[in-house]
Structure 1
Amino acid sequence: MSSSATNTATYKFNHTMLRVRDHVKSIKFYEEVLGMKKFHESSGSDFTNYFLAFPGGFGDKADASDEEKAKVQLNREGVLELCHNHGTESDPSFKGYVSGNEDEHKGFGHIAVTVDNLEAAVKRFDELGVKFKKRPEEGRMRHIAFIYDPDGYWVEILAQQRP
């Protein structure tokens, strides 16, 4: 053990990064389908990172400017970082990213989002043309759904309160 003073009780799970082929399609999905908002972006020479989160997670800063939200980004939880490597969206030889759920590439599984009403959310996803991996009425686990994002990553959808 290190002798430096740190308190693990203050640690927070801040963000998850997903590589995306087309940042425009991905940002649109996470904003329009799931209700997140992009509040910051950071560019490198050949990539750009986009940071999205649910607005309520900013607390009293929910109505702040994106610049102000970026300042508190590292002090909140539930941030999604989308990393776009420039050119992948228009490269016909680009095969896409591995979601982590294929047999030969098992690893990363999914992110999860809780919703106020699972049945209503599923109906809304249907209306938006969202592709499902698993609907609530399928299989044994009737209290969850899985949808695909534009890159084939799984997003688990479950009610904030179980029936």
Structure 2
Amino acid sequence: MKFTFNHNNINVLDLEKSLKFYKEALGLEEAKRHNHPDGDFILVYLQDGVTEHSLELTWLRDRKEPYNLGDNEIHLAIVVDDFDTAYEHHKNMGCICYENKEMGIYFIADPDGYWTEILPHKVL
């Protein structure tokens, strides 16, 4: 028996704002979308164009209040081939929320407050 990663899910309040953020910040593109027939929810799967892993964004029509992310200890991690350029890009976007210079990593926050760790290719 073999298990493989397929996707991670996060819920978002403003789907278009989140789509724009993930495209601009990480280059993720919409791979597929499911609009529920009665309009209750929309699922959008984003991919990096390299791996088969997806990030599923779930938008719920009736959700109006921000999601409780607790201590925000759960996060995604992305490896980038040009760490310095990515850092400057994210700094210019104003989305860097935490840096650990000793480890050589930093985190960005999306519009809903979810964190993504940015790792230089050499870490892996």
- Mark yes or no: TM-score above 0.5: yes
TM-score where L is the length of structure 2? 0.88
Cα distance in 2 for partners of 1:21, 1:160 equals 32
TM-score where L is the length of structure 1? 0.68
* Secondary structure in 1 matching 2:27: coil
Contact residue 50 and residue 83 of structure 1 kept, 8 A? yes
Cα distance in 1 for partners of 2:15, 2:48 equals 18
Aligned position for 2:30:
38
* Secondary structure in 1 matching 2:17: helix
Aligned residue among 74, 82, 90 for 2:57 = 82
Q: CA deviation at 1:101?
A: 2.1
Cα distance in 2 for partners of 1:13, 1:79 equals 9
Q: CA deviation at 1:148?
A: 0.2
Aligned position for 1:4:
none
Q: CA deviation at 1:16?
A: 0.6
Q: How many residues align?
A: 121
Contact residue 16 and residue 79 of structure 1 kept, 8 A? yes
* Secondary structure in 1 matching 2:69: coil
Aligned residue among 81, 98, 101 for 1:134 = 98
The yes-or-no answer on 1:29 pairing with 2:21 is yes
Aligned position for 1:152:
113
Aligned position for 2:90:
125
Give the helix-richer structure, 1 or 2: 1
Please identify the structure whose Cα radius of gyration is greater: 1
Runs of at least 5 residues in structure 1 that lack an aligned partner in the other structure: 1-6, 58-75, 89-93, 103-107
RMSD: 1.6
Cα distance in 2 for partners of 1:56, 1:148 equals 23
Q: CA deviation at 1:99?
A: 2.2
The yes-or-no answer on 1:48 pairing with 2:42 is yes
Runs of at least 5 residues in structure 2 that lack an aligned partner in the other structure: none
Moved over 6 A (4+): none
Give the strand-richer structure, 1 or 2: 2
Contact residue 99 and residue 154 of structure 1 kept, 8 A? no
Aligned position for 2:80:
115
What percentage of aligned pairs have identical amino acids?
32
